[in-house]
Chains A and B, each alone.
Chain A
Amino acid sequence: MKRYGGLILLLAGAALALIGLLQGQYDSVLAKAVRICLECVGIG
């Protein structure tokens, strides 16, 4: 199992990312990432 676990998780990760892409989640990440995150920089 250990031998293939990494490969299975790698493919599962790629599949999840693809599902997210199809759901438009790339746009959500982009929308958050192009604005200064006030919490992250310690403003609010």
Chain B
Amino acid sequence: MAAAALLQNANFKGFFTGRISENAAKGVCVPGLNCYSCPGAVGACPLGSLQSFLGTRPFRFPYYVMGLLLFFGALLGRAVCGFLCPMGLIQELAALVPVKKRNRFRLDQPLRKLKFLILAATLVLPLIVARTPFFCKYICPSGTTAALFLSAADKTVRGLLGSLFTLKFAILTVLIVLSLFIWRPFCKYLCPLGAFYGLMNRVALYRGHVDENACVHCGACASVCRMGVDPVKEINGTECIRCGDCARKCPADAIRIGFAGIRKKEPEAQGGEVRTS
């Protein structure tokens, strides 16, 4: 994940000059949430690009960005969150602080629905209010991180930061503090990109499989899952980010995560069934 974050932010010079990349690669969306205003960014943010299209008048359907999002989602689903997203990396770094994590609590499940509401708002609000990328403007912690890098290198930007930045900085701070106690709170509760890829998890080519005959129903997979998923019930549900902790923990070797059709064990050869949803 660190390598992916570095690759997506390989314009290292920008971190010192405060100037963002103007290379042709900036016209290609990266799969994860990586603000294109980050001085290191070498690609475009898919959500920012999508909202930009949706907020443009006269309206143009965002074929290119929607196509790329569908492509990434159908290929990888939420594996993008697990392996390619810099925001995931930031939260995982914060989670390294040795504080007791609490991944199951009363509001956890209701709060998971919030990201779908934010996804809906992200798609609909720019259609109503022109040139207002709702998510980027009021929530996105990736943009706030970009602002921190930009303002560190450029005092003009520093002088322009106002109340909107204060709001976004507060959100980023809360998310990082929450990451000490809850695994990936932004991914679980707020990220509209994660919500979209989560919906794609059911059909994505990179998916999970539980061999029901091999499964001994010991619950080890569910207890180790930091995203709070029970892989036996919902391995291809909206919340699995394909980290593979469950497969490594399974004492019966009943869980496989990989591209559909590429399996080490053929279910027929074992006389068992494979659950894929």
Contact = CB atoms under 8 A, between A and B. Distances in A.
Contacts of B27: 26-27, 29-30, 33
Contacts of B53: 25, 28
Given A9-B73, A20-B63, A36-B20, A2 B276 contact: yes
Contacts, number: 173
B65 A10 contact: no
A30 B136 contact: no
Interface in A1-44: 2-3, 5-10, 12-21, 23, 25-30, 32-37, 39-44
Interface stretch (B99-107, B165-173, B185-193): B165-173
A13 B71 contact: yes
Q: Which of A10, A33, A36 has the most CB of B within 10 A?
A: A33
B65 A34 contact: no
B97 interface: no
Given A37-B35, A41-B146, A30 B44 contact: yes
A16 to B, nearest CB: 3
A4 to B, nearest CB: 9
Given A13-B71, A40-B136, A42-B168, A32 B49 contact: yes
Contacts of B164: 42-44
Interface in B1-48: 20-22, 24, 26-29, 35-37, 41, 43-45, 48
Contact of A14 (B26, B71, B260): B71
Contacts of A27: 27
A10 B69 CA distance: 10
